[in-house]
Structure 1
Amino acid sequence: MWQTIYEDLKDQNFELISAAQDTGGEAKAGPIFDRANVTYTAIVDVNHTISSLFNLVNVPSGVWINEEGRIVRIDEGTYTKSAKVLGNTIGHDGYVPALRDWIAKGDESAYIMSPDEVASNIRLRVADEELAEPNFKLANYFYAKGNMDSANAYWDKAQALSPDSWNFHRQDWSFLPSAETNKNFLGKVNALTTSYYAPMSKLPEGSK
């Protein structure tokens, strides 16, 4: 769906960059872009550099960056419209209209965030989560070297230290048989006591 949005907005001083966070590289993430026939910039971030820098713990996450290189909005669950999945509503119908408003009005848009609001939407890591980062990177390193025993050990450690990082879970589970992946995912979702995605704010009234 983002391809359709991009086609509509690409001539309005707007660029869309999609960065797949996948240690599996092109072999894993590439087919997803291919099936969508994307014409926007698509990259595979095998080291999870982007999600690590901004502590993005779930996908999709969206970051709006203006012409000066300043982040003016950051959100989780940035689908093009809302949908029901496993009985839960994900995405928000107001997200794309807010994006269109920003593209048209720039800094005059009512839907951009102040620097303080942007900062508040970037999760701060506690001590265990800080330690999870190098463990996760070690797992990715050992995976790239073909040492799956060490990779799995460090992925397990990273997830134990940072259990709220869905990116960590997804990466580890992506190398399991699909039935096991689905079982792990559903078990984790069903155990949630909070929303799967952080709630969005500053969206058009009446949207959901």
Structure 2
Amino acid sequence: MGGVASIPTDPSRKVQVISAGYSRTGTVSMSMALAKLVDGPVLHGGTQILTRDDDYCSTWIKAYEAREAGDKEQTLKLVRKATAGFVATADLPPSDFIPEMMELYPEAKVVLVRRDPVKWWNSIATLTGRTTPWWLSVIVAPFPGWRYIPAFASVYSRSTLRLAGLDAKNASPIELIEKGGPRKSPALYSNHLLTITCSQTF
């Protein structure tokens, strides 16, 4: 993570910690800390998407599509494939699949990293503004992995709003932070959840 994607070498290792905060809530710092604390490869979603191959990136896109189609078995199969061998996860896409992750790794601990909603919104808006222009798909098409960025931006947006029970017209940063992500299904991880606040990030 942090510019170099972790690659698992032992597929039998299981996810022990799930960092459930949205992007721009210190996910890289959390990944680096978990790599030392849990002693193994950590799946930082953003780094994986930017540096892995087409097969890996398309696995997550297919997982989103399977979930939207209501195919739970296929969704779990794809999430397991994408997370096999990692000891911890952070950032999207894994944080978009908390119920599925908890079903696959019921002993995993969930760390929900929160951030001031307005500061988070300002930060994430800058990032999403760079991943949603209409011409981006043309520019990144020749590059493995990167060519999936526009598709990820689309499924992230739909998923985030769905998890929060909102639509694009009435979404607000406070509601996304309070209602989205792991807060949508607390019964799944009530005995596994640690909440911390991120006060210093960009």
> TM over 0.5: same fold?
no
Higher helix share: 2
If asked which structure has higher relative contact order (CA below 8 Å, sep 6+), I would say: 2
TM-score, reference length from structure 1: 0.26
Q: Specify the structure having the higher radius of gyration (Cα).
A: 1
